[in-house]
């Protein structure tokens, strides 16, 4: 470590070797363990790759990177280069002026007014998904939620009926690409090895197939000549301020793919965690059902779904304990410092949201499911960033919260669910997901 910079406590020796090797399969355990040893911020030098990493679960540090000095930080090469070669240059992977141009084009499609108009479609898709449920039925809700969330994105944002086999194919491709991506970024020199064995080329071929499926949605819209007044129409008709030109098809497909992935992947994973926690906490379930009864005919209105409620408390608390966006990466564009730490240009910053959300410095009983904690009048200032923060705050936050509230209420108005497992198995890819949520449904 250079003497001119004052990095946080360094992880080195056998612990560093353990971190690099074990971090491949279980990054949550490794990063959480390192924070217990070194404190809320630590430094790791990946000598073979000549890269400097700072990991942090400190609220002030995270806010400094994402808010106060966000202009000095871009999405790291982990996403802007490695992930982008599979998913293209959409909002998730783009940087700088290109990102800002795209954000300005897409943002109007996610206004509260636009989202409110989508409730009836969300209801229709959800009712269809739950229609086959009956009492004493065994189900894997993880699979149900992935299919449901995907169809909601398809029909609300793009007014599209994608065939069931294409939904499954896209979901499979996304999982396989994430597995390859995770190996690339966690194992030193793995890119060369994976490339040699053709793994990366296969993943890129799958990526091209996913884009072909999305392109078919775009082509179908254009050939129909229909005006749907949805996000896809807005994207097709949008013009850049400087050139007055539309997006290229390549850029359109990249943005659509990112919205499909981000719009269904994180929501489906969050729903799995939400329903698991409700299953483990009967008192919370009873309180939820009481609220559902009291809301009566207002239950599925935009006002009720988007206001502060016990339903939203449950969602927030489950996402605190199991945040699908488990880490946020940034890369320093210039040398920087915060309080007594300083680091050089190019340093990779990993903001560990999972650790922040369970940090006992900020949370009483951090590992307990307590939805009522979000009744606190200071809840807005909690160490809580499931959708990120700053200018790159998730564009679909309000869409996702309304969608999840609707699905939770739709289900618990008619059913109850008991998960078989007392603990969830989790996998940390680009997002945090469980592998399954098997259990039994009871009809009320």
pLDDT in tens, 186-234: 766 677 888 888 999 999 999 999 999 999 988 988 898 888 878 888 8
Nearest residue to 429 via CA among 320, 326, 276: 326
Q: Does a structural domain hold residue 111?
A: yes
Task: Find the domain containing 356 and state its range.
Answer: 9-443
Q: Does a structural domain hold residue 145?
A: yes
Q: Does a structural domain hold residue 2?
A: no
Question: In angstroms, how far apart are the furthest CA atoms of the chain?
Answer: 66
> What pLDDT is attached to residue 105?
86
Q: Does a structural domain hold residue 227?
A: yes
Contact 335, 54 (CB under 8 A): no
Q: What are phi and psi of 309, to 5 degrees?
A: -155, 175
Q: Which residues are paired to 337 by β-bridges?
A: 342
Q: Does a structural domain hold residue 4?
A: no
Q: Does a structural domain hold residue 93?
A: yes
Q: Which residues are paired to 74 by β-bridges?
A: 331
Spans of the chain below 70 pLDDT: 1-3, 187-189
CATH number of the domain where residue 388 is located? 1.10.630.10
Q: What are phi and psi of 418, to 5 degrees?
A: -120, 115
Nearest residue to 375 via CA among 311, 293, 320, 310: 310
Contact 429, 145 (CB under 8 A): no
Q: Does a structural domain hold residue 3?
A: no
Neighbours of 104 (CB within 10 A): 12
Please name the residues in contact with 47: beta carbons below 8 A apart, sequence gap of 6 or more. Answer: none
Query: How many domains would you assign to the chain?
Result: 1
Residue 394 labeled ligand binder: yes
Contact 253, 232 (CB under 8 A): no
Contacts 24+ apart (CB under 8 A), 433-438: 433/265, 433/269, 433/272, 433/324, 434/142, 434/269, 434/272, 434/273, 434/276, 435/142, 436/140, 436/142, 436/143, 437/140, 437/141, 437/142, 437/145, 437/272, 437/275, 437/276, 438/138, 438/139, 438/140, 438/141
Q: Does a structural domain hold residue 275?
A: yes
> What pLDDT is attached to residue 33?
97
Structure tokens at 121: 């479609």
Model-level pTM? 0.93
> What pLDDT is attached to residue 3?
66
Each residue's pLDDT tens digit, 129-182: 999 999 999 999 999 999 999 999 989 888 887 787 888 888 889 888 888 888
> What pLDDT is attached to residue 1?
46
User: Alpha-carbon distance 213 to 81, whole Å?
Assistant: 23
Structure tokens at 422: 């007392």
> What pLDDT is attached to residue 121?
93
């Amino acid at each position: 470590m250079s003497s001119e910079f004052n990095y946080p406590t360094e992880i080195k020796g056998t612990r560093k070797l353990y971190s690099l090797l074990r971090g491949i399969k279980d990054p949550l355990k490794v990063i959480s363990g390192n924070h217990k040893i070194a404190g809320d911020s630590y430094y790791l030098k990946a000598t073979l790759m000549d890269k400097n990493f700072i990991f942090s679960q400190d609220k002030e540090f995270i806010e400094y990177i994402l808010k106060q000095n966000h202009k000095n930080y871009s999405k790291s090469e982990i996403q802007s280069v490695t992930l982008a070669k599979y998913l293209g240059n959409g909002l998730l992977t783009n940087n700088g002026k290109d990102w800002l141009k795209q954000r300005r084009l897409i943002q109007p499609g996610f206004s509260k007014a636009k989202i409110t108009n989508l409730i009836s479609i969300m209801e229709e898709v959800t009712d269809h998904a739950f229609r086959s449920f009956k009492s004493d039925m065994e189900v894997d809700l993880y699979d149900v939620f992935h299919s449901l969330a995907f169809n909601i994105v398809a029909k609300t944002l793009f007014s599209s009926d994608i065939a069931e086999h294409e939904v499954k194919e896209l979901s499979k491709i996304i999982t396989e690409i994430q597995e390859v991506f995770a190996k690339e970024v966690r194992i030193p020199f793995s890119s060369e090895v994976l490339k040699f064995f053709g793994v990366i080329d296969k993943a890129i071929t799958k990526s091209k197939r996913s884009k072909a499926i999305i392109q078919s949605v775009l082509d179908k819209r254009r050939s129909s000549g229909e005006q749907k007044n949805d996000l896809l129409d807005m994207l097709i008709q949008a013009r850049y301020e400087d050139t007055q030109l539309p997006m290229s098809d390549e850029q359109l497909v990249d943005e659509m793919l990112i919205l499909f992935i981000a719009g269904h992947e994180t929501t489906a994973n969050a729903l799995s965690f939400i329903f698991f926690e409700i299953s483990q906490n009967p008192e919370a379930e009873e309180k939820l059902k009481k609220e559902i009864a009291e809301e009566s005919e207002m239950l599925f209105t935009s006002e009720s779904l988007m206001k502060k409620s016990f339903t939203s408390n449950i969602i927030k608390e489950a996402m605190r304990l199991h945040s699908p966006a488990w880490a946020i990466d940034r890369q320093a564009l210039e040398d920087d410092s915060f309080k007594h730490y300083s680091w050089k240009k190019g340093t990779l910053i990993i903001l560990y949201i999972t650790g922040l959300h369970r940090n006992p410095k900020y949370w009483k009983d951090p590992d307990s499911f307590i939805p009522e904690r979000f009744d606190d009048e200071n809840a807005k200032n909690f160490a809580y960033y499931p959708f990120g923060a700053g200018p790159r705050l998730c564009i679909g936050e309000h869409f996702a919260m309304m969608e999840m509230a609707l699905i939770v209420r739709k289900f618990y108005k008619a059913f109850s669910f008991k998960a078989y497992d007392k603990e969830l198995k989790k996998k940390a890819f680009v997002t945090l997901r469980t592998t399954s949520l098997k259990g039994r449904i009871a009809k009320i």
